[in-house]
Amino acid sequence: MNVFTVYDTTLRDGAQREGISFSVGDKIQIVKLLDNLGVDYIEGGWPGSNPKDMEFFDRLKGVSLKHAKITAFGSTRRAGVEVSTDANVKALLEANTPAVAVVGKSWDFHVTCALGTTLDENLAMIADTVAFLKSKNLEVIYDAEHFFDGYISNPAYALETIRAAAKSGADALVLCDTNGGTMPLDVQRIILEVKKEFDVPLGIHAHNDCGMATANSIIALQSGATHIQGTINGYGERCGNADLCAIIANMHFKLNIDKFKPEQLKELTRISKVVAELANMIPQDGQPYVGRNAFTHKGGIHVDAVVKHSDTYEHAAPEEVGNKRRILVSELSGKSNILFKLKEHNIQLMESHPEALDVLNILKKMEHEGYQFEGADGSFELLIWKTLKTYKPLFKLDAFRLILDKERRGSGLYYIEATIKLRVGDRIVHTAAEGNGPVNAMDNALRKALEEIYPELKAIKLVDYKVRVLDGKDGTGAKVRVLITSQNGNKKWGTVGVSENIIEASWIALVDSIEYGLLCHQNPSVDEIKSAINEITWEEEYTAGSGSE
């Protein structure tokens, strides 16, 4: 029976991606996440290359792990240097890890061109380093760099390099597609040929320069490899590495490798997001299994089928990897999209109910005008309440005015003031506030007017603001779409506004953002909302909220 091992190199290979620089604290946090996930080896870095990695290995000595083995990474001894005196090899020992990964050259072109040494000396460098580290009672994983390119160029010599490692006691032989240029069927052929000679476990380390890293990793497993390397989210130099999130999920769902427990698999999506946050990277919405769009459906025909049975358009259950199904609403939506969203918001309607069709028709009309609700769940839920006439506005705009004055402050700075007049029940609130921009001034004025009445507004924060021009041919008179993201604690929501006037579009999205946040804070039940039926129709309220004086 094959024993499969998963080796993570996010902290070294992943950190080589442009824009990523993990702190020591970040790296320790990621180690704990990967250990809980059930990863077998966690490559912590190259201790001989920088002080940060040495500090990491030193601090990790006080961290207790349940399963994973921390691995230090390094290269074979240098040409013409005694292995016991080589600085990089000594640094591997000083890291004091139970396992080490040693990289050596497999491609004759690299030996003569990059290393500038002889083919025989390269073989001695591999054999000496592996044997020395084994003599120190370390588990040695040998990474055969550029193996596939080397095998295609000179198969006899490529085999000699891993034979030298195996004879010296290497515990695993990892075949590396370092340039990321090998195709899956070539990976399969080469692994099948190599496997004929070696009893040592074979592994795969694939880069993604041709978009094949994950595919090459999976076909390697299907061809007899039992050790697989990759990074969380596929982070890595150039185009990245094989994505361990997809590999781990595929091992379970597609290859029937019973390695990870159900509760561990459910952590995949969360781990993907946490690592992205620590790496200061934007999560990849289209990432298989763990991406926000991995189980997202938009077309009406798709949604209708998924509602009947998820297998119609889903190859796995999102909950099993900690993700969730999302149904989008757009001009491509059918009634099934609307009914699903209504159910998601605890509003139950029969399929034949005319108000479900009303929501769909209004939605399509608004999207034709430039609205988009895929990232604006707050505006969409408000649209439902307004269309079903189960909505009572918390406030109503009478007027607002913006003043922009460049001279008042001098030094090229603008003075921006928003004056606002609102009705809250029987009260009329008239106030003004400054800001560092028109939207900030409007936001400040709106909060100043409402916080005394709704103190919970203080906890609602605007965290993102995006503007998109919908038709560039109209120049500065083009219609724009504004998307605002707001947050209250752990809850985030998006709202949207569209107009030829960017101030008006911003106002619409801003009002929706605040009103939705307040309604969620009050947490009214559907029955309570329905009992507060307002005489203002949705179309009238939309006009009133547009902010025109």
Residues 369 and 402 in one domain: no
Q: Tell me, yes or no, whether 38 and 99 share the same domain.
A: yes
Distance CA 448, CA 429 (A): 10
Whether residue 537 sits in one domain with residue 406: no
Write down which residue in 223, 243, 260 finishes a domain.
260
Please name the residues in contact with 275: beta carbons below 8 A apart, sequence gap of 6 or more.
Answer: 10, 30, 33, 232, 233, 235
All residues at 6 or more sequence positions from 157 whose CB lies less than 8 Å from its CB, including other chains: 106, 108, 119, 150
Backbone angles phi, psi at 474, to 5 degrees: -85, 0
504 & 428 share domain: no
Q: Token pair 């946490």 is at which residue? A: 274
Residues 46 and 123 in one domain: yes
Pairing of strands 99-105, 415-424: unpaired
The DSSP secondary-structure symbol of 472 reads: G
DSSP state of 243: B
Note the pLDDT tens digit of each residue in 400-410. 888 887 665 55
Do the bridges between strand 41-45 and strand 69-75 make them parallel or antiparallel, or are there none, so unpaired?
parallel
pLDDT recorded at residue 296: 75
φ and ψ at residue 384, rounded to 5 degrees:
-60, -50
Amino acid identity at 178: T
Same domain, 218 and 151: yes
Alpha-carbon gap, residue 33 to 35, rounded angstroms: 5
Instruction: Note whether 16 and 57 are same-domain residues.
Output: yes
Quick check: is 270 in a domain? no
Give a yes or no: residue 120 inside a domain. Answer: yes
Which residues of the chain are modeled with pLDDT < 70? 1, 298-311, 313, 327-357, 359-360, 363-364, 367-368, 374-375, 388-391, 406-413, 471-477, 521-549
d(CA 385, CA 108): 69
The answer to whether the beta carbons of residues 132 and 161 sit under 8 Å apart is: no
Greatest distance between any 2 Cα atoms in the chain: 91
Q: Which of 439, 473, 495 is the last residue of a domain?
A: 439
Q: Examine residue 334 and state whether it is found in any structural domain, yes or no.
A: no
Evaluate whether 208 touches 251 at the Cβ level (below 8 Å).
Answer: no
Q: What is the pLDDT of residue 375?
A: 67
- Do 529 and 418 lie in one domain? The reply is no
Place of tokens 């034949």: 352
Residue 239 lies in a domain: yes
The strand order across the sheet containing 396-405 reads 396-405, 415-424, 427-435
Choosing from 242, 260, 278, the residue where a domain stops is 260
Strand duo 480-488 + 296-297: pairing:
unpaired
Q: Does 487 reside within a domain?
A: yes
Query: Whole-angstrom Cα distance, residue 419 to residue 230?
Result: 56
Amino acid identity, residue 414? Y
**Rounded CA gap, 287 and 26, in Å?**
22
Provide the CB-side half-sphere exposure for 89 (13 A, CA). Answer: 24
The pLDDT of residue 346: 46
From CA 154, how far away is CA 157, in angstroms rounded?
Answer: 6
Neighbour tally for 273: CB within 10 Å: 15
Residue 83 and residue 225 in one domain? yes
Can you tell me which residue has the tokens 């039926």?
533
For the domain that residue 541 is a member of, what is the CATH number? 3.30.160.340
Cα–Cα distance for residue pair 361/518, rounded to 1 Å: 27
In a domain, 288, yes or no: no
The domain containing residue 547 runs over which residues?
Answer: 346-394+454-549
Q: Which residue has the tokens 């090229």?
A: 412
> Same structural domain for residues 406 and 371?
no
Would you state the pLDDT for residue 392?
Answer: 76
Residue 273 lies in a domain: no
Domain count for the chain = 3
Question: How far apart, in whole angstroms, are the C-alpha atoms of residue 344 and residue 37?
Answer: 30
Beta bridge pairs of residue 99: 71, 139
Q: What distance in Å separates the CA atoms of residue 144 and residue 121, rounded to the nearest whole number?
A: 16
For residues 235 and 373, membership in a common domain is answered with no
The Cβ of residue 514 has, within 10 Å, a number of other Cβ atoms equal to: 23
Whether residue 134 lies inside any domain: the answer is: yes
For residue 58, give every residue at least 6 positions away whose Cβ sits within 8 Å of its Cβ, in sequence order, or none: none
Quote the pTM value: 0.68
Write the CATH number for 39.
Answer: 3.20.20.70
Q: Are residues 118 and 183 in the same domain?
A: yes
